[in-house]
Structure 1
């Protein structure tokens, strides 16, 4: 297989001149470019993509760290990243993590080694402070998170949901509900979303939610069904269930129907089709837009935060 030195020898031009042609650089006449490109075709020369990326300083690869893809939060953010990346001529590389810090640090090391131009953390196991430190010290690419980093100097695209959660709990209280079941993906200490929901509950009801009514590790539709089954089996009788996805609470509803029981009030999130069909109040966090903004930050030279306001969708209106 021909290499760049073979092209240079056959053309009579220097290796640096041939490299300029390969990398579409300026300072090469049309005559030289045509001569080199014709020889590349004649000798069946294919440029080394890795070497070319190193010469330009760009891979046009964006890594997206995904703990899993079972919840619409992750699929919607990823869709937003992919839409923006495709329009800008970038490739998206999905990096599964399962919240394993060792795996996440491996991806950060790949970023340092220029495997990607940037890495977007849709969620993470490693501390935000570590991501901020790595972003400050690596010159190889940008690190972007999808949660509010507070005062940390870290690029972030995230949904502003605190006030929306308060609006949601005000709606629940105004409708007379008192025993509120909450379905969360992770425990309070590990999840910014769980923290925001529970803090909003406290602000509205002036107390903590009942621990027995708070279910964690709820990430897919079956988990919604199983959570309702848990309430039924333990005779907990919530009069309202606020879940972390419309399809999740729709499956909780199905569990009550399967048992011939009255369905408690329901509220979901992510504005999925099920909330429209079942006439369930929901919250649209606009995660597609979060993904698009995360990509814009990933290819930016500046650290910035780009919040997106979430929307409470009231079925009474």
Structure 2
């Protein structure tokens, strides 16, 4: 039969409340008494009940994490950052993959509410999620990567506009003038920001965007492939393509190969995210690197600060920089790549 807190109290010669304070590190317990309680707990192989503890503290020491697509290598890196920061603070993480489906998202939000998670780290699949999440539902929420309009919560994002602007300017500097853009999901704030960076770079160069050179790829490999076939198979095909993520860029690379086009001789390709596969391709993919692990780690720390009452009342916004990683897919590789 498993030992109880009463057994530990009897063996240590103290009250049950003293055992609770000694084991939880809450309230004053003399060093000698704490040592006696810990020794008794170890001797009895006592394991505290997290359920019982949560009933008293009103906290489950559990965080929820919602991701749009766990098969995209960009998101597991964020999840690792969240998990590491949570584990250091003694929290567990429940990961939910929404498949970019609002119905799945709503389903998982309901489950996390039922599980009474202490807080939520969220990469929203659509703008509508901002209207479905309120502080009344979760004690604290932190958005990562994208912030739905009207969402009053902490957030960790990357300067997507500047990232794509830098990539497009790099292609312009290589002499390209017919540069296409493959964007993400319709209504995605991330995709809109990256499109804005592309358009800003063209405007700086005195170029008008060709509507036929702007395609949607839904942030997926298949979407990038379809967009690549349409762009590169047209009579006025572009000489360069900027994709709003690496999966779509890889789809464009496949389309180019099937159409008999050489990269970067016939068409230059640039992605976004710098997933591990990007540097392993032939040719290696020029891309905009995001600090994915830091995004997740910072988001979890912000959430824990909010839960501990150590955050200011107003929502915080952390904007991390993106970095262009130049490889051979754009025709200007470095370091032998």
TM interval, short-chain normalised: 0.7 to 0.9
Asked if structure 1 preserves the Cα contact closer than 8 Å seen for 2:67 and 2:95, the reply is yes
What secondary structure sits across from 2:126 in the alignment?
coil
Asked if structure 2 preserves the Cα contact closer than 8 Å seen for 1:247 and 1:274, the reply is no
Give deviations 1:189-239, integer Å, cap 9, x for gaps. Answer: 2x112101222233233445524641322423x544444334456666332
Give deviations 1:136-187, integer Å, cap 9, x for gaps. Answer: x35x531000125677531000101212322222233343434433233312
Give deviations 1:226-259, integer Å, cap 9, x for gaps. Answer: 4433445666633222123345434532443344
Counterpart of 2:256? 256
Residues 234/165 of structure 1: CA separation in 2 closer, same or farther (3 Å cut) = closer
Q: How many residues align?
A: 310
How far 1:47 sits from its partner (Å)? 3.2
What secondary structure sits across from 1:268 in the alignment?
strand
What secondary structure sits across from 1:300 in the alignment?
helix
Gaps of 5+ in 2: none
Residues 232/101 of structure 1: CA separation in 2 closer, same or farther (3 Å cut) = closer
Give deviations 1:90-137, integer Å, cap 9, x for gaps. Answer: 322211222333443454455555632211112333636436x612x3
Question: What is the alpha-carbon distance in structure 2 between the residues aligned to residue 144 and residue 166 of structure 1?
Answer: 27
Which of these residues, 290, 293, 297, is aligned with residue 292 of structure 1?
297
How far 1:89 sits from its partner (Å)? 3.5
TM-score (norm 1): 0.78
Counterpart of 1:192? 189
Residues 245/99 of structure 1: CA separation in 2 closer, same or farther (3 Å cut) = closer
What secondary structure sits across from 2:180 in the alignment?
strand
Which of these residues, 268, 278, 287, is aligned with residue 271 of structure 2?
268
When the two chains are superposed, the root-mean-square deviation of aligned CA atoms in Å is 3.6
Residues 166/24 of structure 1: CA separation in 2 closer, same or farther (3 Å cut) = closer
What secondary structure sits across from 1:134 in the alignment?
coil
Question: What is the alpha-carbon distance in structure 2 between the residues aligned to residue 227 and residue 296 of structure 1?
Answer: 38
How far 1:308 sits from its partner (Å)? 0.2
Counterpart of 1:180? 179
Residues 183/79 of structure 1: CA separation in 2 closer, same or farther (3 Å cut) = farther
Asked if structure 2 preserves the Cα contact closer than 8 Å seen for 1:123 and 1:145, the reply is yes
TM-score (norm 2): 0.74
